[in-house]
Amino acid sequence: MSAATQRVLSVIAPMTQLNTPYPSTAYLTGFLRSRGIEAAQVDLALALVLELFSPAGLQAVRERIHAAPVAERTPRVRAFDAAFDRYHATVAPALAFLQGRDPTLAHRIATRSFLPEGPRFAALDVYVDPDDPHGEHGGDPLAWAFGALGQHDRAQHLATLYLNDIADVLRDAVDPRFEFVRYAESLAMSQPSFEPLAAALAAPPTLVDSTLQRLALQAVAAQRPTVVLVSVPFPGTVYGAFRVAQAIKAAHPDIRIALGGGFVNTELRQLAEPRVFDYFDAVTLDAGERPLLALLEHWRGRRSAARLVRSFVREDGAVRYVDIGEADVPFAEVGTPTWDGLPLASYPSLLDMLNPMHRLWSDGRWNKLTVAHGCYWKKCSFCDVSLDYISRYDAASAETLADRIEAIVAETGQTGFHFVDEAAPPKSLKALAAELQRRSLTISWWGNIRFEKSFTPALCRQLADSGCIAISGGLEVASDRLLELMNKGVSVAQVARVTKAFSDAGILVHAYLMYGFPTQTVQDTVDALEYVRQLFEAGCIQSGFFHRFACTVHSPVGKNPEPFGVTLRPLPPGDFARNDVGFVDPTGVDHDALGAALKKALYNYMHGIGLQDDVRGWFEGRVPRSGVPRRFVERALAGA
């Protein structure tokens, strides 16, 4: 076979976010085309949702409901069944509205008499207007968030609740593993054994599975690939990826299928399970470009299996890892991503969280681009710093990035960019901002950074001028002692000053927060929440998210736990996924209970509620008083 007859189809497996395509296939398709290889892409996550959330899809759901015993129907399934005709009549218009194809429908949706309302709408009754906590100035529970004129946003939120109601029904009546952003996640997440996944794949397909497999075969029939690439960024895409491969292998045993992506790079590095290769011909590690070129050559008969790059294959029934160590394709030469072939007008914009920063993740179609490969800092002790996606820092020039941006705007007609770096370097952002300004390129962009002091007020203003609308960064456990133990390279006072500089420049700031880090005490947790409260109160940050610390085998804590005061539990035996490792922290703090309080507090802070209150009020039971000076952040800002 020659390169000319090789045709590659890259597949986004369900589920990933719905508002915009996951970027892996766009990167690979752009790269392959830049090397003269015929390449196409398909988003099966989007296709699956559009199929299930259609009149015919809802009809199929109803048939499943009626085929099962009546006693199995949950209250929300019964409510859906009773209001079925309304759901059936409204699902297509609601989707068209969320896709931006029918904006005037906002007026009818906002009346709350158009869409049927299931249990998700009960959440509206608990929203509190911070300026009118007792509802004395009118009875509209959404007025505080949307005001009198925010019809479109209000309708978007209502239509999102409506879709969530239907997703709940699907979970109850059709497939308990279905969620909008993940599918059957627990089958893959830190699963040392392949057994649960194998059993699920051997089970009769649910309506979700059979719909997905039909769509996969339709895509193959339309594109006629010789090679299919399936990318699995998260555990919640793995089961779907295997179902896709299962269908293609059964119908087209001659098509080669390769598996790669973030889940493989972090969890399958010690893969030894031969049954994975009943579905896939090869599994590649880390940046996909070089391993893929080698595999394509191999499948054309131009390279032996012994000369593959970072690939697992099965030989004589056993898994073998092959890597002849060829250098990766430099970041400057990976080409420009292309979204050609993806139905960009069909991605629904959802509005779950009534917070202006949070909505960016689910609302709007963002072109995803990377400023640099890897992280320039690569020192944080909880991070996968030993892996390629963090450790191999490789940047491109501002001119190259601006060229890519121009090409993407010309192709998609859309000017919103999400820079999906682990931590975009300040120097590169400054140079990129100058280049965008020099070319008078009008774009909007947001991305991840570290809260470095080099982000001065002047630089923040320049970034805002270049189109920056929001940034996110890690404050982790807001505690100078723990930030030092984490080797984060920032202090709470510095984060306060940097985030304020961004906010003052009109840029929204989101903080990644953490709890449960080794040696973290109850006092540390209360203090961290007090810092976070002050940062919200002072207008430094507008949103955040608390993650529970997880120890991975690739992080400094997982490799050398002693300096962090913890001991690791032995990993369970198995030849499939390995990533998280259990540990014993002698402080013995109940982080689950504390985490619930942190999340509740943060949720309220994001809606402007409870910012004046003593942080102890969020915790169940007694916790110590915060030891943080009440005006810590104010003083840090005054000393800037």
- Summarize as ranges the residues that interact with ligand SF4 (CB under 6 A): 375, 377-380, 383, 385, 390, 422-423, 450, 474
Nearer to ligand SF4, 313 or 471 (CB): 471
Q: Which of residues 380 and 615 has its CB atom nearest to ligand SF4 in the complex?
A: 380
CA distances from 378 to 385, 488, 541 (A): 5, 9, 24
Q: How far is the CB of 238 from ligand SF4 (least distance, A)?
A: 23
Nearer to ligand SF4 (CB atom), residue 450 or residue 533: 450
The CA distances from residue 361 to 177, 305, 371, in Å, are 22, 41, 19
- Specify the residue, 242 or 451, whose C-beta has the smaller distance to ligand SF4: 451
Cβ proximity of 424 and 449 under 8 Å: yes
Strand (E) or helix (H) holding 47:
helix 44-52
DSSP string, 557-581: HHH--GGGT-EEPPPPP-SS---B-
CA distance 119 to 578: 38
Least distance to ligand SF4 from the beta carbon of 390, Å? 5
In angstroms, the CA 45 to CA 16 distance is: 6
Nearest to ligand SF4 of 422, 527 (CB atom): 422
Nearer to ligand SF4, 240 or 544 (CB): 544
User: Residues 103, 106, 112, CA angle at the centre, nearest 5°?
Assistant: 160
Q: How far is the CB of 455 from ligand SF4 (least distance, A)?
A: 14
Nearest CB to ligand SF4, comparing residues 273 and 422 = 422
Residue 431 Cβ, how far from ligand SF4 at the closest point, in Å? 19
- CA-to-CA separations, 58 to 99, 209, 218, in angstroms, rounded: 19, 15, 21
Which of 33/547 has CB closer to ligand SF4?
A: 547
Q: Are strands 372-373 and 394-395 parallel, antiparallel or unpaired?
A: antiparallel
Nearer to ligand SF4, 54 or 391 (CB): 391
Characterize the bridge pairing of strands 318-322 and 311-315. Answer: antiparallel
Bridge partners (DSSP) of residue 229 are: 10, 258
| 259-290: burial string, b at 16+ Cβ within 10 Å, e else | bbbbbbbbbbbbbebeebbebbbbbbbbbbbb
| Interatomic CA distance for residues 91 and 617, integer angstroms | 42
* Least distance to ligand SF4, CB of residue 405, Å: 23
Q: How far is CA 151 from CA 104, 352, 353, 441, in A?
A: 10, 16, 16, 31
Contact in structure between 502 and 509 (CB atoms under 8 Å): yes
Q: Supply the minimum distance, in Å, between the C-beta of residue 606 and ligand SF4.
A: 22
CB of 377 or CB of 546, closer to ligand SF4: 377
- Determine phi and psi for 252, rounding to 5 degrees: -140, 75
Residue type, 10: S
CA distances from 563 to 11, 391, 558, 567, 639 (A): 43, 22, 11, 10, 33
CB of 559 to ligand SF4, least distance (A): 14
Q: Which residues have a Cβ under 8 Å from the Cβ of 391 and sit 6 or more positions away?
A: 374, 375, 378, 385
388 CB-near residues (< 8 Å, 6+ apart): 265, 285, 286, 287, 328, 374
> CB 528 → ligand SF4: shortest distance, Å?
17
Q: Least CB distance from residue 391 to ligand SF4, whole Å?
A: 9
Q: Are 615 and 527 in contact (CB under 8 A)?
A: no
Q: How far apart are CA 631 and CA 27, in angstroms?
A: 47
Q: How far is the CB of 605 from ligand SF4 (least distance, A)?
A: 23
Q: How far is the CB of 395 from ligand SF4 (least distance, A)?
A: 14
Residues 291 and 309: beta-carbon distance below 8 Å = yes
Closest distance of CB 468 from ligand SF4, Å: 18
- 383 vs 633, which CB is nearer to ligand SF4? 383
The smaller minimum CB distance to ligand SF4, of residues 390 and 601, is found at 390
